[in-house]
Structure 1
């Protein structure tokens, strides 16, 4: 039997029946786990998270929206779901791949980042105008897990690789996400138009959605790597591991944002200045494109986040998460997430796709 999390909601007139039956299980998050989910939500409040997780979600950064108490409660109610199940009937999960763990090194870090930054400055980037949207198409897969209540066996599962399309306004206040099988049919609005994005009581964060990490925010940032890194750290907030949070923010930016060329070059140079960042010589994105990676291990959870670049052109391909030390039943070498960026473009309206292929 595989455990599912649920809550008891019997009316009072069923009290007699309740006394005759075993009490239903009501698994609770530990205080540490609840704090982790709260921290994740407040620092990475985006679109709905993957439907099942037993660890902090390394979801792609989306458009920041104000937090409502209801939204926070919804996230904290998430539990581990059986593979192949979910409230929206998403496709069946598959067992996570396991890869050899290659040690990273700082020996080639400076020269590698120099090549990546040089390539970024040569990458043409269209300029979005007010009213237009930044479009990013990718293939993604994220982690879930299952726990067998009878045997105590833990298994890590991942979503099958599937398409994901996102539209963002330059100011970061509006957008759309289409992820068939994992969001509502046809997609969901983001930013100010997203359900639950408006504060409903005095305890919620007031005002409009902040636009940090939007295109406009990026365009206004300094192109000096040290100054830019300072701004990235400021977005990380007072988290337990600000270095890891900053690296995750950079990954989120390059995954689903259009970054001006000079800013992109500074962003990669800034990433190399974060303590713990190394070069991994052999990695690959979600579609199997091989490359090298800038990577950093989350020391608390033992997961390494890898930003994958083409070995010849040094163009950004996508990201990968690999467990390097066992944590919460997830074995070393387990691939916990995969993304591949297929296209970036500027379009005139959300839900509109480019008529010609943009850049990747």
Structure 2
């Protein structure tokens, strides 16, 4: 008997192994340090402040094109052996309205063919009072983020208040920051404050050498989950300090996953504003 578990992502689960999954990469575990945290975050925040972020208008969509891979592990109860797999690197495209009430997700092989609607575009959504509420911005949406204070301490309180999950509150908050910057368009002042807020979360360190799903190397803001032994790394270009993507590395063995195992990789390849759902930047057409 073999039991297979897929890592939960915002797109769903995947429990495939064999030809549909690959052995998880293994890297040397580099120790993180808080010594250069303040200086590093200052450079990251300065770069975010200087970024020209397009302003999405009502009716437009925020488009994020990523390359991703998440954990998929199996356990053989007859032999009591565990194996750790990961999804093959694959494309993930998402479209979100500025208020995140509408959207679309296309992740071939991991979502229904052609993609799936998000928010009120999801056929399984549950409207309130029999109808979708227009004009109400969802948490973590562009409209919601723009309304947040560009003050790190105040923003940190908001991040903690919005964080949910089984992990400890500090880890939840750090994962919330990752969730925001991976698949959202963040106004420049808010982005700068968000990185400064992340540095205030207890346990956050700098890892000098990390890599995103596209193979781009950089430094990372990282935090170790004491319960699972997994370290979440937010990867930044070491020259421009632009955000590249994220990586999850097992630092301590947990549930059969060995130290050094890369259990998650993402890379943001393109972030833009388009005029219609399923439209790609510069294409003039739909996906």
Q: TM-score, normalised by structure 1?
A: 0.74
Asked if residue 97 in structure 1 is aligned to residue 25 in structure 2, the reply is yes
* 1:155-304 paired onto structure 2 within 5 Å: 155-198=83-126, 211-237=138-164, 240-304=167-231
Task: Kindly indicate whether the alpha-carbon contact (under 8 Å) linking 1:326 and 1:332 is maintained by their aligned counterparts in 2.
Answer: yes
Distance change in 2, residues 1:238/1:138 (3 Å): closer
CA–CA distance in structure 2, aligned partners of residues 207 and 239 of structure 1: 29
Which residue of structure 2 lines up, in the alignment, with residue 348 of structure 1? 275
- The alignment status of 1:313 with 2:240, answered yes or no, reads yes
Partner of 2:261: 334
1-structure distance, mates of 2:132, 2:203: 36
- The change in CA–CA distance for 1:306 and 1:354 in structure 2 (over 3 A counts) is same
Matched with 2:17 is 83
Counterpart CA distance in 2 for 1:323 and 1:145 is 13
1: distance between equivalents of 2:29 and 2:93? Answer: 31
> C-alpha separation between the residues in 2 aligned to 1:238 and 1:182?
23
- Gap change, CA 1:125 and 1:82, over 3 Å in 2: closer
CA distance in 2, matches of 1:211, 1:221: 13
Question: Is 2:2 the counterpart of 1:3?
Answer: yes
Distance in 2 between residues matched to 1:4 and 1:330, nearest whole Å: 15
Secondary structure of the structure 1 residue equivalent to 2:40: helix
Shift of 1:153: 0.7
RMSD after superposition: 2.3
CA contact (8 A) 2:3 2:76 kept: no
Measured against aligned partners, the alpha-carbon deviations of 1:65-117 in whole angstroms (never above 9, x if no partner) come to xxxxxxxxxx9xx8x94514xxxxxx700010110000100000000000000
Tell me which of the two structures has the higher relative contact order, counting C-alpha pairs closer than 8 angstroms and 6 or more residues apart. Answer: 2
1-side partners of 2:162 and 2:234: how far apart? Answer: 20
Per-residue Cα deviation, 1:27-51 (whole angstroms, up to 9, x for no partner): xxxxxxxxxxxxxxxxxxxxxxxxx
Number of equivalent positions: 280
Unaligned runs of 5+ in 1: 6-51, 63-74, 85-90, 201-205
Distance change (3 Å), C-alpha of 1:336 and 1:224: same
SS of the residue corresponding to residue 20 of structure 2 reads: coil
Give the drift of 1:237: 4.4
Judge conservation of contact 1:139–1:163 (CA < 8 Å) in 2: yes
Q: SS at 2:2's partner residue?
A: coil
5+ residue gaps, structure 2: none
Q: Distance in 2 between matches of 1:144 and 1:304?
A: 17
Asked if the contact 1:82/1:146 (under 8 Å) is kept, the reply is: no
8 Å contact kept, 1:320–1:337: yes
Larger CA Rg, structure 1 vs 2: 1
Instruction: Quote the residue 1:39 is aligned against.
Output: none
SS of aligned partner of 2:189: helix
How do 1:39-188 and structure 2 match up within 5 A?
52-53=5-6, 57=8, 59-60=9-10, 81=15, 83-84=17-18, 92-188=20-116
Whether the 8 Å contact between 1:282 and 1:292 is mirrored in structure 2 is yes
SS of the aligned residue for 2:269 comes to: strand
